[in-house]
Amino acid sequence: MSARKSNEIETPAELQKKGSLTTISPDGKNEEVEVGEETSGEGEEISSENRQGLLKVLSKAVGFDITTITLPVTVNEPASFLMRLCEQLQSSDLLDKAAECEDSIERLSYVAVFACTLYAVAERTAKPFNPILGETYEYLNPERNNFKFCAEQVSHHPPMAACYAESDTWKFWEAQRLKTKFTGNSLEANVEGSNNVFIKGTNEHFKWVAVKTVVHNIIMGRLWIDHYGEFEVVNKSTGEKAKIRMKECGWFSKNWHELDGHVLDANGKECIQLVGKWNESIFAKALNGYVPQLNSSAEDSPDIDVMSPSKTKKDAKKEKKEKKNALRKEKKDFKKALRKNADEPLWTLPYKPIEKPENRFLSDWTPHSLEMTKVDAKMKAHLPPTDSRLRADRAALEVADTKTAAAEKHIIEERQREERRKREKENKEWTPKWFKLSKDSDGQDFWEFTGTYFEERDKRINA
């Protein structure tokens, strides 16, 4: 039985009548707390003063999308949502490995595991800053197979961000429209839009959609996040697919973070099993009866005519035997690797949180998180003014200057409102600079990267 059903969550209407909220804990210790009452404090990420501020704002927002509501700056972390989109690609080496695979089922396995790892950074409870319209973010790392990333806030109402990444061997793109609903002491979030991977060497396109996210105990109790639901990673080129189930947290933390799934061939046959936790490690194992499709089996392979005027019959027989042995060894090594993955994870979380962060706004950050926000004099010289790193509110919050952060956040939001009013008065529509609205092969809308951002970047650097 799950402890996360919606009918167990108090609505603000009930809150106002009863003056209390039900807190839901992953360890099963649910309790009713009086509004305004101090909680135990253990594991509290948000101060009681800030909780009361949230309650004042959110009590009027039940059932509504809160992405359009201005929240206190102290619920934020010093990063924008565009940075989070890039940070979720911290395990892009899985796509590098997928591109190296000769077998399409093995390749799909790596892409499917990559799809699960996107949630590994989505467990931090602090809220990233909402990007303003036209805000951008770039990140390049030549040491990660020439990794490049670009994101842009392409719409404000509804809020939508588009991003594109690539390396020497693959491309990744997505556009996320986050739809949220406040339900009393929890926040439900659903993402509209698809995630896509393209392997350059094989011209294969993989596609999937996101699962549901619930943030528990926003007003009272210990904040925690659950991602759950079922999704499919489909190889649009071959018809092969991976079916993944991310489990909902039940009583006493049962199933929290857990996932399972299978990789299926084009005929629907289960070939590889996937199990693990999306915030720790994921394992893969070849199932009985699965024959790797690297090559046809040596026994079933037709005889190869290797005769030529310069070869004797004995030489031809020897060469044929060597080729058969090579095929057997290749398949044996592949199956052995898959069996090994049952004991050793195919993926492990690459970064651990910093033990002693400089301030509470950097809680649960990793060295990689810090790298994402780093900006020095050299970068400032070529970054466009729209880059998330240069947001004054974000920079102030990074050093725990909440007063300056709040003031700068207000200035930024007021400027955005004024620019919107000006466009409405002049009857103009906003046009994104680096992405354009297109249709994919399924006839669905998506934001296509124009490909000009990195060209413009090179011009700025070389100017």
CB 94 within 8 A of CB 145: no
User: In the chain, what is the straight-line distance between the N-terminal and C-terminal CA atoms, in Å?
Assistant: 63
Q: What is the residue whose two structure tokens read 């896509």?
A: 196
What is the predicted pLDDT for the residue at 323? Answer: 66
Q: Write down the pLDDT at residue 44.
A: 40
Domains belonging to the chain, first-starting first, are: 1-280+349-463 (2.40.160.120), 294-344 (no CATH)
pLDDT of residue 441: 86
pLDDT (0 to 100) of residue 386:
97
CA 328 → CA 179, 325, 333, distances in Å?
Answer: 51, 5, 9
In the prediction, which pLDDT does 157 show? 80
pLDDT value of residue 332: 63
Q: What is the pLDDT, as a whole number, of residue 6?
A: 38
Picking from 283, 243, 285, the residue whose alpha carbon sits closest to that of residue 264 is: 243
Average pLDDT value for residue range 438-453: 92
* Residue 203 CA: distances (Å) to CA of 43, 135, 200, 233, 236: 48, 31, 5, 16, 10
Bridge partners, residue 281, by sequence = 277, 348
Q: Kindly report, residue by residue over 346-365, the tens digit of the pLDDT.
A: 999 999 999 999 999 999 99
Residue 144 has pLDDT above 90, yes or no: yes
Per residue in 360-412, pLDDT (tens digit) is 999 999 999 999 999 988 899 899 999 999 999 999 999 999 999 999 999 99
pLDDT surpasses 70 at 214:
yes
% of the chain surpassing 70 pLDDT: 75
Q: Which of the pair, 288 or 444, is modelled with greater confidence?
A: 444
Tens of pLDDT, residues 166-202 = 999 999 999 877 777 877 778 888 888 899 999 999 9
Confidence at residue 331, expressed as pLDDT on a 0 to 100 scale: 56
> 111: pLDDT confidence band, cut at 50, 70 and 90?
very high
pLDDT tens digits, one per residue of 299-310: 443 333 333 344
The number of residues making up the chain comes to 463
Query: Residue 130: what are its φ and ψ, rounded to 5°?
Result: -70, 125
Q: Which of 15-24, 59-68, 148-157, 394-403 has the lowest mean pLDDT?
A: 59-68
- H or E segment and range at residue 175: strand 170-182
| Distances, alpha carbon 437 to alpha carbons 85, 175, 445, in Å | 19, 10, 7
For residues 227 and 376, give the distance between their C-alpha atoms in angstroms, rounded to a whole number: 35
Number of C-beta neighbours around residue 436 at 10 A: 14
pLDDT attached to residue 41: 40
Mean local confidence (pLDDT), 335-346: 67
Q: How far apart are CA 207 and CA 197, in angstroms?
A: 7
The residue-averaged pLDDT of 128-154 equals: 96
pLDDT digits (tens, 9 = 90+) for 255-285: 889 999 999 999 999 999 999 999 999 999 8
CA distance 145 to 186: 40
Residue 335: which pLDDT band, with cuts at 50, 70 and 90? low
User: Residue 32: what pLDDT?
Assistant: 52
454 pLDDT exceeds 60? yes
**pTM of this prediction?**
0.80
Sign (positive or negative) of CA dihedral 21, 257, 269, 196: positive
pLDDT on residue 206: 98
Give the CB-side neighbour count of residue 292, counting CA atoms within 13 A. 24
The whole-angstrom separation of Cα 150 and Cα 136 is 7
- Least Cα distance to 84 among 20, 144, 147, 174 occurs for 174
- Percent of residues, the chain, with pLDDT higher than 90: 55
**C-alpha closest to that of 85 among 165, 28, 189:** 165
- Cβ contacts of residue 12 below 8 Å, gap of 6+? 58, 59, 60, 62, 184
